[in-house]
């Protein structure tokens, strides 16, 4: 449940959000601004990534408190391989470190860890740790932490089309049977509902190749706050904004 201090802070700073009304089931986050956060403080970029990891931990706990069942975070895109090699190597080490050091706490908090993207494109050691984390937490039910790593929305759709075409070639599916619900079964998120709310930090106004199919009717919340500064109050401000939206899904 939301603690009293959190409620007091939220009411004072952003208004009143309702803990049982219009709570999104699935929140997706583009965690942007780690590098800029560090630059503004004349710090190396890796410090921004470390602080961003701390923010993620806090937001996972927020989701549990609010009863949000799925949190999908954009951790590393297919385009991020174009970053400096030193930064890429640091991020890979950071992912491994977090999966190892936080696994026990994730277990205690009831967090199920899963991944979307092409895991086979990651270093072998990271793949092994990721698979261990998924297996160890597969029965947890408080929150699903869905990590998009080596992920791109276009890449996901192409991979889904390729597998669907292969199944048509094998005669498992007839072309006339193909429709949206069937296609979604080939996506990385086939076990999950579509996001209700997308949060993007750092003020950028684009999707950056994230969940292109799944975000068709998602409410979008953009904040100028950089990801390392996106703490509980900022998250609750996003929930309040979501509660004020009128979701019609094309209806009147």
215-245 pLDDT, tens digit each = 999 999 999 999 999 999 999 999 999 999 9
Q: At what angle do helices 232-243 and 4-13 cross, to 10 degrees?
A: 70
The three-state secondary structure class of 113 is: strand
Is residue 181 annotated as a catalytic residue, yes or no? no
pLDDT at 246: 84
Calculate Rg over the CA atoms of the chain: 19
Does position 14 have pLDDT exceeding 60, yes or no?
no
pLDDT digits (tens, 9 = 90+) for 78-111: 999 999 999 999 999 999 999 999 999 999 999 9
Q: Name the active-site residue from 65, 80, 167, 194.
A: 80
Based on the residue annotation, tell me whether 80 is a catalytic residue of this protein. Answer: yes
pLDDT of 250 reads: 73
DSSP-assigned states of every residue in 10-38: HHHHT----TTSS--SEEEEE---HHHHH
Single out the catalytic residue among 32, 146, 155, 196.
32
What digits encode the pLDDT tens for the residues 134-147? 999 999 999 999 99
pTM of the complete model beyond 0.85: yes
Residue 22's pLDDT is what? 86
148 phi, psi to nearest 5 deg? -90, 110
pLDDT of residue 71: 98
Which residues, including other chains, have CB under 8 Å from residue 209's CB and lie 6 or more apart?
A: 77, 78, 79, 152, 153, 154
């Amino acid at each position: 449940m939301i603690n009293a201090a959190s409620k007091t802070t939220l009411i004072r700073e952003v208004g009143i959000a309702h803990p049982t009304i219009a709570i999104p089931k699935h929140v997706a986050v583009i965690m942007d601004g780690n590098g800029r956060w560090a630059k503004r403080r004349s710090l190396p970029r890796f410090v921004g990534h470390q602080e961003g990891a701390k923010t993620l931990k806090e937001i996972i706990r927020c989701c549990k408190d609010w009863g949000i069942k799925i949190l999908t975070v954009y951790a590393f895109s297919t385009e991020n391989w174009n970053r400096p090699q030193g930064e890429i190597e640091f991020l890979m080490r950071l992912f491994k470190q977090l999966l190892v050091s936080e696994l026990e706490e994730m277990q205690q908090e009831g967090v199920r860890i899963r991944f979307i993207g092409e895991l086979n494109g990651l270093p072998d050691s990271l793949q092994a740790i990721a698979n261990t984390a998924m297996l160890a937490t597969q029965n947890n039910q408080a929150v699903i932490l869905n990590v998009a790593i080596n992920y791109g929305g276009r890449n996901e759709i192409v991979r889904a089309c390729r597998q669907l075409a292969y199944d048509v070639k094998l005669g498992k599916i007839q072309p006339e049977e193909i429709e949206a619900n069937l296609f979604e079964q080939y996506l990385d998120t086939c076990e999950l509902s579509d996001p209700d709310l997308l949060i993007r930090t750092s003020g950028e106004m684009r999707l950056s190749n994230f969940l292109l199919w799944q975000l068709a009717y998602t409410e979008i919340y953009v904040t100028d706050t950089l990801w390392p500064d996106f703490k509980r109050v900022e998250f609750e401000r996003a929930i309040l904004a979501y509660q004020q939206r009128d979701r019609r899904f094309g209806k009147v």
